[in-house]
Amino acid sequence: MHYLFEPGLLSSGPVRTALLVGAVVAITSGIIGVYTVIRGQSFAGHSLADVATTGGAGAFLVGINQFWGFLAAGVAAAGLMEAIGVQRRRGRDVATGVVLGAALGVAALFLYLGTLRTSTTGASFTVLFGSIFVISPDTVPALIASGVIAILTVSLLARVLLLTSLSPDLARGRGVNVRLVGAVYLIALAISVSLAAVAIGAVLSTALLIGPSATALRVTKSPVRAMAASAVTGLAATWLGIVLAYDSYYWPPYGHGWPVSFFVVALVLIGYLLTYVRRPRRLAPRSPHEGAECSPA
Amino acid sequence: MFSSLMMNTWITASIVAVIAGVTGFFAVLRGSTFAAHAIPNGAFAGAAGASLLGINVIWGLAVFAVGGALGIGALSSETRGRKARHDVVTALALVLMLGLGALFVSVSSQYAEETYALLFGEVFGVSQGEVLPIAGLGIAAAAAIGLAFRPLMLTSALPEVADARGVSTRRTELYFLVVMALATSMTVPVVGALLMFSLMIGPAAAARSVTARPGVAMALSVVIALATVWLSIALSYRTNWPLGFFVGVGGAVFYLVAQVRRAA
C-alpha cells in the first residue's frame, strides 16, 4: 500500500475532508457537465466560474467564507447571462464575454483592496487556483447540501433538459417552457461551478465540469451511462490527484507540495486524450448517411 | 503622469490597444470569443514557467500562446463546424495550460506578486527594454492580419463562398488563432491575461453594434480600445487602483452604451 501513497494519508484530518469534498465536487460536476457539453455551454460554464472569482475575491475582502462568495456571484451571473440571452446562439458568446470581462475587472479591484487591507498576498492564488487542503470542516455540510440540491434539480429535470438541449422546437411544441428550463439549469450549473471553485479553484473548475463529461460522451452516447461514467472519471481524477499531491511533499522541491489542481487537471486531460487513442467505431462510417457527412464529396 | 518613466507605459499600452482592437474585431466577427479568452489565460502559464526558468517572460508567453492556439486548432479540426465540440476542446486546452500555470507558480512559490501582475496587469512596470519586442510583435501581428484581410473576412462572413473559392476555412482559422496568440503574448505583461480578453472583446463588440461596415467597425474598434486604455491608465495612475479594473469595466461600459444607442 505504501508504494501507492505515503503513510499517514488517511489519518490526516485535512486529507479526509479533502477526499470527501473532492468526491462531492467530482460527482456533481460530472453529472451537470454532461448537460453542459450536450447543450454546447462550455463557455458559459467557464464564464460562470470566472465570474465566481469576483465573488470569491469579494468574500476575501469582507472576510467571509469564499464558498458563499463563489455561490452568490455564480448565481447572480447565471441570472444576468440568462437576461442578456445566453440561450440564443447568435451573439451569446459576445454578451457572455462582455459580462465576463467586467466581472474580472471587479475581481482585480477586490483582490487589490483585500490585499491592501490584510497585507497578505496569497489570496489571489487561493481564489484562482483553490486549495482543497484548507477547507474548513464547518463548510462541509453546506458543500454537500449544495451538491445534492444541484444533482436533484438536474435529475428531476433530466428528461425535459435532454429534450430542450437536443431539440428546442420539439420541446416547445410539447408545451415545455424552454427558457425557464434553461434558467433553472444555469443556476444548477452555477452551484456546481462554485463547488468546484472551492476545491480546485475558480479558473480550473472547468476541468472537472467539461473534462470527464466530454470524455464520457466520446465513449458512450447514452446520457445516463455518460453521467455515470463522467462522475466516476471525475471522482477517480480528483482522488488520485489528492493522493499524488499528498505524496508530492516528498518530491523535489522538497518540503513543498505540488498543487492538487495541477494533478486533477492533468489526470482529467489524460483521460480525455485516451479516448482519441482507442476509438475503433469511428474508423468505419456506420451508415452511408454518416459517411457522407464526414467526407463531403 | 507624463514623466519619462511613464512614456514607456503610454507607448506600450497604445500599441497593445491598436492590436487588441484589430484582432478583437475578427474574434468577435468569427465568434472566437472563447478562444480569445483561452489563449491569453493559457499564456499566463507560460509566463509563470519562464519566470521559473529565469528567462524573459515574453518567450514563455509566446510559446504557450502559440502552442495553445495550435492545440485548439488541431484538436478541433476533427470536429469542424461543430461549435459545441470546438468549445469543449478550447476549454480543455485552457485548463491544461492553467493547471501547468498553477504548478509553476506553486513550485516557484515566491511569485505571488508577480502572479497577480501577470493575471491583472502591471502597466506601470514596463521597462525600456520591453518596449521594442512588444512593438516588433505588434507590427508583425498587424501585418499578418493585413495580409490575410480578405480570406479572413470571407471565411468569417460567407464560409460557403470561401469553400467554393478554395479558401480553406480550417487553415484560415488556425492562422487567425496563431496571430491572436502572437498578439496576446505581447499584451499579457502589460494589461494582464484576464483583462487582455476584455480589451479584445469589449471595444470590438461595441464597434460592431454601431456599424456593419467592416473597415469602419475595425477602425472604430481600435479607437474605442485606445480610449479605454488611455482613460484606464489615467484613472489607475490617479487612484492607484488596478488597471485591469478600469479596462474591464470600461470595455463593458462602451458595449452597453453602443447597445443602448442601437436600441434607442
Domains of chain A listed by start with CATH number: 13-276 (1.10.3470.10)
**Would B88 be classed as within a structural domain?**
yes
> CB–CB of B84 and A40 under 8 A?
yes
**Would B90 be classed as within a structural domain?**
yes
**A249 contact B CB<8A:** no
> CB–CB of B242 and A112 under 8 A?
yes
Query: Which chain A residues are Cβ-neighbours of B96 within 8 angstroms?
Result: 265-266, 269
pLDDT of residue B80: 46
B97-114 per-position pLDDT tens digit: 888 887 887 777 555 566
**A43 has pLDDT over 60:** yes
Query: Which residues touch A212 (CB under 8 Å, ≥6 apart)?
Result: A26, A29, A30, A33, A229, A230, A231, A233, A234, A237, A268, A271
pLDDT of residue A27: 93
pLDDT of residue B224: 93
pTM: 0.80
Query: Which chain B residues are Cβ-neighbours of A93 within 8 angstroms?
Result: 31, 33-34
Find, in chain A, the residue whose alpha carbon is nearest to that of B85. A40
Q: How far apart are CA B243 and CA A61, in angstroms?
A: 18
Q: Which of A37, A38, A42, A134 best probes binding to B when mutated, by most B CB atoms within 10 angstroms? A: A42
**B141 contact A CB<8A:** no
**Would B231 be classed as within a structural domain?**
no
> CB–CB of B105 and A100 under 8 A?
no
Winning range, highest mean pLDDT, from A25-39, A192-206, A239-253: A25-39
Q: How far apart are CA A146 and CA A135, in angstroms?
A: 15
User: Which of A26-40, B18-32, B155-169 comes out lowest in average pLDDT?
Assistant: B155-169
**B252 contact A CB<8A:** yes
pLDDT of residue A127: 64
Locus of grid cell 440568462: A82
Return the SS3 of B97: helix
**Would B20 be classed as within a structural domain?**
yes
pLDDT of residue A296: 38
**Would B241 be classed as within a structural domain?**
no
How distant, in Å, are the alpha carbons of A240, B31, B83, B208 from that of B205? 43, 11, 20, 5
**B156 contact A CB<8A:** no
CA distance to partner chain A, nearest, from residue B102 (Å) = 6
**B235 contact A CB<8A:** no
Q: How far apart are CA B167 and CA B157, in angstroms?
A: 13
pLDDT band for position A121 (50/70/90)?
low
The helix/strand count (H/E) of chain B reads as: 12, 0
Domain interval for residue B30: 4-194
**Would B177 be classed as within a structural domain?**
yes
Nearest-5° angle of CA A109, CA B113, CA A57?
35
Of residues B169, B176, B181, B232, the one with CA closest to residue B203: B232
Residue pairs between chains A and B whose CB atoms are closer than 8 Å: 181
Read off the C-alpha cell for B6: 511613464
User: Which of A192-196, A227-231, B80-84, B256-260 comes out lowest in average pLDDT?
Assistant: B80-84
The shortest CB-CB distance from A104 to any of B87, B109, B194 is to B194
pLDDT band for position A284 (50/70/90)?
very low
Mean pLDDT of chain A: 79
**Would B214 be classed as within a structural domain?**
no
pLDDT of residue A7: 57
Q: Which of B28, B95, B208 best probes binding to A when mutated, by most A CB atoms within 10 angstroms? A: B95
**A126 contact B CB<8A:** no
Q: Which of A34, A84, A128 best probes binding to B when mutated, by most B CB atoms within 10 angstroms? A: A128
The shortest CB-CB distance from B88 to any of A37, A98, A101 is to A37
A178-208 per-position pLDDT tens digit: 888 888 888 899 999 888 888 777 777 888 8
Query: Which residues touch A198 (CB under 8 Å, ≥6 apart)?
Result: A21, A25, A66, A67, A70, A130, A132, A135, A139, A143
**A292 has pLDDT over 60:** no
**B205 contact A CB<8A:** yes
CATH of the domain at B57: 1.10.3470.10
**A216 has pLDDT over 70:** yes
> CB–CB of A40 and B87 under 8 A?
yes
Of residues A197, A209, A259, the one with CA closest to residue A69: A197
pLDDT of residue A10: 64
**A103 contact B CB<8A:** yes
Mean pLDDT of B236-246: 84
**A35 contact B CB<8A:** no
**A285 has pLDDT over 60:** no
**Would B263 be classed as within a structural domain?**
no
pLDDT of residue A182: 84
**A96 contact B CB<8A:** yes
pLDDT of residue A228: 92
**A282 has pLDDT over 70:** no
B162-194 per-position pLDDT tens digit: 777 877 777 888 888 888 888 887 777 776 777
The shortest CB-CB distance from A203 to any of B98, B109, B248 is to B98
> CB–CB of A101 and B248 under 8 A?
yes
A125-162 per-position pLDDT tens digit: 666 666 677 777 778 888 899 999 999 999 898 888 88
The shortest CB-CB distance from A125 to any of B98, B112, B249 is to B112
Structural domain count of chain B:
1
The shortest CB-CB distance from B109 to any of A50, A214, A256 is to A256
**Residues B234, B182: contact at Cβ < 8 Å?**
no
> CB–CB of A262 and B102 under 8 A?
yes
The shortest CB-CB distance from B99 to any of A89, A109, A262 is to A262
CA distance to partner chain B, nearest, from residue A120 (Å) = 10
pLDDT of residue B221: 92
pLDDT band for position B123 (50/70/90)?
low
The DSSP-derived string for A25-79 is HHHHHHHHHHHHHHTT-HHHHHHHHHHHHHHHHHHHHHTS-HHHHHHHHHHHHHH
pLDDT of residue B133: 77
